[in-house]
Amino acid sequence: MRKIRVVVIDDSAYSRRAITKMLESMPEVDVIGYAADGEEGIRKIIDLKPDLVTLDLEMPRMDGFTLLRIVMEYSPTAVIVISSRNEDEKVFRALELGAVDFVAKPTKGVSEEILTIREDLHRKVRSVIHLNLAGIVRRERELERASVAADRRAPGTVPYAAAAARTESAAPRPAGRLEVVAIGASTGGPPALQRILCSLPDVFPQAVVVSQHMPAGFTRTFAERLNRLSPLEIREAADGDEVRAGRVLIAPGGHNMVFERQGSEILARIVKPGTEDRYVPSVDAMLLSCAEVFGPRTLGVVLTGMGNDGSKGIAAIKRAGGQALAEAEETAVVFGMPKEAIATGVVDKIVSLDRMSREIMQRCGLLNDVD
């Protein structure tokens, strides 16, 4: 099989050497070039036509954001951002612009700590083999238009407190229909989740819970970003948070989110991952708990991602009498997770991303049908 051809772009000579060494230890990878800034990086991408680019965001002459815009417009290429942990807000902007995933550097300076990203880097590079690049370009353009529209709103038009106040007056938890929408995602998930959650109405009669594979420290920024863009109350889940209508809880990076019933309330519990949890936050752990606690009042949704996380949970939800959706191959950045969910034979409907929010709203009783 042809090797994955990679160009490494980073202004730090030490980081370039370290990343190149980690990539060259993979037999399926060939590092064909490197660059120290965005201008040189664009020339290398045009000349060498790599399958994948690893990209630092903060660089002289031309930063990673400008490079991403140009590359995705004129020479679409898979990009994995490798950025220090204090740049998490910038990472999500890069994902909106078309980067497929990110790897968090433990430090921005020169340190052997960078070698700790080796396993994560290898796993995400291998996902490129299954990448739907056309879907990424289409998603990036749609999100760019949506982001411009959101930026035109006056600051504070949908503040956190106002969103929270609206959810207090939302419809009470329904007794005989869906109670929770549980969404799992991995590679390509942040833009997909943004697309869905920003399309839901401000008065939403179900709770929403999300497990997105993401390292510790990034999910809070992700949740805060979504909360600014969406009319819903969106937060990183804390242990003991109530799961209630109109609230979106995102599992914190590095932990699993499960649920327990206490009287009339259902609470989120944040727990350490088990040894069997290859990817964290675990989608299966969340969906299995939903099946147990919410039973037939659960709608499980599996979005883009590599691997099979979520397939066991989807099967459990169906056994409990709930409903299940999976993202269609045509829009999934990586079709691994939805493909495995579909392979269980129990998924009710396969839905493209551009129809997913409408399908969810229809199943939640907000729309009569889906065109």
Contact 30, 73 (CB under 8 A): no
Contact 29, 6 (CB under 8 A): yes
Q: Quote the DSSP letter at residue 213.
A: -
Contact 56, 105 (CB under 8 A): no
Tell me, what amino acid is at 20? T
Q: Which helix (H) or strand (E) holds 184?
A: strand 180-185
Among 186, 230, 282, 311, the active-site one is 186
**Using CA atoms in the order 162, 164, 168, 170, what is the torsion angle rounded to 10 degrees?**
80
Among 11, 213, 282, 284, the active-site one is 213
368: its two tokens = 């009569």
192: its two tokens = 């997909």
For the question of residue 122 being annotated catalytic, the response is no
Among 12, 15, 309, 311, the active-site one is 309
For the question of residue 348 being annotated catalytic, the response is no
Provide the CB-side half-sphere exposure for 306 (13 A, CA).
Answer: 17
State in Å, rounded, how far the first CA of the chain is from the last one. Answer: 42
Tokens 């993401």, residue?
214
Residue 346 CB neighbour total at 10 angstroms: 18
For 232, residues 6+ apart whose C-beta sits below 8 A from its C-beta are: 163, 167, 197, 200, 202, 204, 208, 246, 247, 248
For the question of residue 101 being annotated catalytic, the response is no
List the catalytic residues.
186, 213, 309
